[in-house]
Amino acid sequence: MSQLKGKRVLVLGADAIGRGIAIRFAREGAEVAVLDSMLARAEEVAQAIQRSGGRAMALACDLDAQMGPTLHTAIAALGGVDVLVNNVLPMPVIAPLEEQSPASFNDAFARVQAAVCAMQASLPSMQQAGGGRIINVGHRYGEGVNEALAAYNCAAWSLVGLTRTAAVDWGRYQITTNLLLPLADTPELRECHARRARIMDMMIGQLPLGRLGDPVEDVGAAALFLATDACSFVNGETLHGDGGQHVAGPVLNPARFG
């Protein structure tokens, strides 16, 4: 498989979803740089890729507006960037709106600023190459909010606006910017399952496909479409890599049950 052969990919965020996308892209021939605030997590992803014969590097930096120097280091090491994946949303702070602190909002919006910083840093290289792909990884709470997640909801909605703005502003450079809303089998959801298996099983059972997505095979494949030439005329779109969760109607919210 070589749909991304010769492509240079920058992935921000090395959680389960970022890991899955990076591994899938490397499998398709891309050279990948993975950036995360925890170097060990980024290194684990890079090492997994290298063990499979792929090319990857890991760098550590805080995911915020101050990450410019590290971004430029990564882009220089890659020799440019063709695909940018902004997987930057933070872990949500769960509290009623009246109890959400300014720090919660600051932390959430710092991640959105990291996406902006990465996009601006990648632009010259994409312009020089005659085009590129930007994939922002959001959440369905950027379409319909959930209770007790004010800062997270606002950050998710901000990614919608950022994606659509870049699609309009940078389309003339043949850069497509799209939003991926995944639903993946992550350690966080497994932890939820360990605490309240019955509730989680009910939630998963409500999903049209009856299962969570695999970060590499399902979510990675959805991101791959957005990264390839097949996406050259798809711009400003929201792709739901969620197995149909968004069309299933109200789906049980495990967080409501403590």
| β-sheet bridge partners, residue 58 | 34
Can you tell me the distance from the alpha carbon of 117 to that of 58, in angstroms, rounded to the nearest whole number? Answer: 18
Q: Are 158 and 174 in contact (CB under 8 A)?
A: no
- Residue 82: helix, strand or coil by DSSP? coil
Catalytic one of 152, 153, 175, 215? 152
Q: Using an 8 Å Cβ cutoff, are 18 and 114 in contact?
A: no
Residues 6+ apart with CB under 8 A from 131: 173, 174, 175, 176, 232
152 is catalytic: yes
Strands 8-12 and 175-182: unpaired
Q: How deeply is 71 buried, as exposed, middle or buried, from its count of CB atoms within 10 A (0-12, 13-18, 19+)? A: buried
Report how far apart, in Å, the C-alpha atoms of 129 and of each of 40, 123, 169, 173, 225 are: 32, 10, 17, 9, 19
81: nearest Cα among 184, 180, 167, 12: 12
Active site residues: 152
